[in-house]
Amino acid sequence: MPDWLDTQLRWLQATPLGDAVRSAPFMYPTLEALHILGIALLVGPAFAFDLRLLGGGRRLMSVTTAARHLLPLSHVGLVVALATGVALMSAQPIVVAGSSAAPWKLGLLLLAGLNILVFHRGVYRRVGQWAKASATPIAARVAAGVSLTAWTGVIFAGRFLAYI
**155: contact with ligand HEM by CB under 6 A:** yes
| 66 vs 108 by CB, closer to ligand HEM | 108
Of the candidates 12, 8, 34, the residue with the CA atom closest to the CA atom of residue 22:
12
Q: How far is CA 161 from the centre of its chain?
A: 15
Contact criterion met (CB below 8 Å) for 39 and 78: no
Does 67 sit near ligand HEM (CB under 6 A)?
no
86, HSE (Cβ side, Cα atoms, 13 Å): 10
| Chain centroid offset of residue 94 CA | 22
The piece of 5-13, 38-46, 56-64, 66-74 that touches ligand HEM (CB under 6 A) is 38-46
Pick the closer one to ligand HEM by CB: 1 or 60. 1
Tell me the closest approach of the beta carbon of residue 66 to ligand HEM, in angstroms: 20
User: Binding marks (x or -) toward ligand HEM, 74..93, rule CB under 6 A?
Assistant: -------xx--xx-xx----
Cα–Cα distance measured from residue 53 to residue 138, given in angstroms and rounded to the nearest whole number: 10
Tell me which residue of 126, 152, 153, 154 sits closest to 139, measured CA to CA: 126
One of 9, 13, 18, 35 touching ligand HEM (CB under 6 A): 35
Which residues of this chain interact with ligand HEM, rule CB under 6 A? 32, 35-36, 39, 42-43, 81-82, 85-86, 88-89, 96, 109, 151, 154-155, 158-159, 161-162
